[in-house]
A and B are shown apart, each in its own frame.
Chain A
């Protein structure tokens, strides 16, 4: 449904997105995860035609974004990081405004609005000015505004940024509902726990897609690389470990160290070189995976 083919976007000397390849299937929730400046927002902007790619091409449902921008706009719902709700307009007025822009009117609009308001449990707030909504409700209103023209593809740029955990779960429940009905969703996030809710996750770092897989597989890959270590002097142990070839990184985690090894390196190899430090496998969280993969990426880039 979404195809990104060897896409690069540069701003002057900065390469925001570097030869990105990505395909997202219909009905899939794909999570784009990475720190600030990883190129997530640029990727989404290129997908909805706000930016042109410097190289490569992107298409939405077989339509090339560069060539058929108008047709593409009808197919996608884009929710920018700072969604442009108008605070002085009510929930309903915001929805009517955006549906007017997409040419959605009449009976169909009224029914869809009612359905969306019910689904998001926002009906009681129809006439409230958007400025007086809570953060979570604002995000739900923004989502509704992007759904009014019945798009096939949703592009969400950090949709739950700054929203409380409960509202975030609420928001994700709506996304699952939409995906079940066949909506393709590409969502960027800086929250790793949120990435675990996606069907597939792509880790972005410095404009490149470091790894792309289902959350569990990503963890499995990294499971063979992730260990915990205990030592009397954590600082000293960390210093020692980081000197050993084959160790990607050692990060303090509570009373332990989390140690990441290059793939293929066995824990016995390390233990033999660091007397007094014992390693045992851990079940990594996505956060661990993320750190390990980025360290590996940096190591490769350095070499």
Chain B
């Protein structure tokens, strides 16, 4: 390893990057765009459930229940005096998620201390949203029932009835239960993986295609010097991307950064280096910019998006897929990011993930250098 030659490659790559300002802007703008797009669009929170009320009863009791729906931030009443037709048509057109039908004798039954059923209709085509909405509706009806019961016992001078089991729920970390806080750190990992692998996937293939590789091979330049020189240049760019992503995440989306910043930086550096090596490896193997680009898109984007646990929980995947996720580096980085951002966990907890990233980096770097060492044919 010769430092002068390494520096020569680094300087040349840096000039390529700076002079090709279109690619430079792309390299910096794409992560921002992805982060904004996903950060705003990809929300798993369910609130403002569009609701149609069909009040057949029209009594003070039914109005009290409706008022409770109106008071909740989870429900938005689009039609107050609807009908079965409104509910059906609304669900068909996806304009309505939930229908609440209060039957005719609702008030009378309550007064007579009888069970007063309320019908809740829900569009179950998006099962995830539907089950959350059902949960909210159930909780609301339960709370309403409990209040009515309390009122009646107080009226009868018996005082408030204590529920037999009283769960005191406290949410640790992300205590507002905002999905953004969970998504954004994972998103940073996905973006970094894509950008890093894509950037470097072109660089060696370009040298082969332009014929400059043959020239370089006739100089004393060593494969490892070429590889590291290029890696370092793109590493700087990748770290800039990381900084942009973190700044947007914390500044714009208000994701808390509770853990250690040095740990965040060093883990990112490790992950970035591995991802860059992967791109270089693909570039070396394919020797074609087009092929390398496609291969890197396929092998970085899909696993990082689907198999990293950044949205889709790995625990819920079939056994075989779970085993496959073990070799996806983004999985470990997502775990590190979510830990550092939301829980403030340190190396004592996250060391296995960091260790994996280190092993991955060394492995891919070795593989790429090996492949480079081969001659022209």
A binding-site residues for B, Cβ under 8 Å: 11, 45, 48-52, 70, 73-74, 76, 78-86, 88-89, 93, 96-98, 100-103, 105
Contacts and interface: CB of A to CB of B under 8 A. Distances in A.
Contacts of A86: 12, 15-16, 212
A88 B17 CA distance: 10
B211 A84 contact: yes
A50 B212 contact: no
A101 B5 contact: yes
Residue of B4, B12, B211, B216 with highest tally of chain A CB at under 10 A: B12
A73 B5 CA distance: 15
Residue of B2, B11, B16, B220 with highest tally of chain A CB at under 10 A: B220
Given A88-B15, A88-B20, A101 B220 contact: yes
B58 interface: no
A74 to B, nearest CB: 7
A16 to B, nearest CB: 10
Interface in B298-336: none
B215 A74 contact: no
A80 B210 CA distance: 11
Contacts, number: 79
B47 interface: no
User: Which 7 interchain pairs have the tightest Cβ spacing?
Assistant: A84-B212, A82-B211, A100-B8, A84-B215, A78-B218, A88-B19, A101-B219
Contact of B215 (A11, A80, A88): A80
A103 B15 contact: no
Given A51-B376, A78-B215, A83-B211, A100 B7 contact: yes
Nearest to B2: A103
28 contacts: A11-B377, A45-B214, A48-B218, A50-B217, A50-B376, A51-B376, A51-B377, A73-B218, A78-B215, A78-B218, A81-B211, A82-B210, A82-B214, A83-B211, A84-B207, A84-B213, A84-B214, A84-B216, A86-B15, A88-B16, A88-B19, A89-B12, A89-B19, A96-B8, A100-B5, A100-B7, A101-B8, A105-B4
**Chain B interface mostly:** helix
A67 B210 CA distance: 29
B168 interface: no
Contact of B218 (A76, A85, A88, A105): A76
B375 interface: yes
A51 B374 CA distance: 10
Interface of B: 2, 4-5, 7-8, 11-12, 15-16, 19-20, 207, 210-221, 375-377
Contacts of A96: 8
**Chain A interface mostly:** loop
A101 B218 CA distance: 10
Contacts of A89: 12, 15, 19
Nearest to A104: B4
Contacts of B207: 84
Nearest to B5: A101
Given A83-B215, A84-B211, A45 B8 contact: no
Contact of B212 (A11, A49, A74, A85): A85
Contacts of B11: 97, 100
Contacts of A70: 220
B4 A100 contact: yes
A76 to B, nearest CB: 7
Given A73-B220, A84-B211, A97 B8 contact: yes
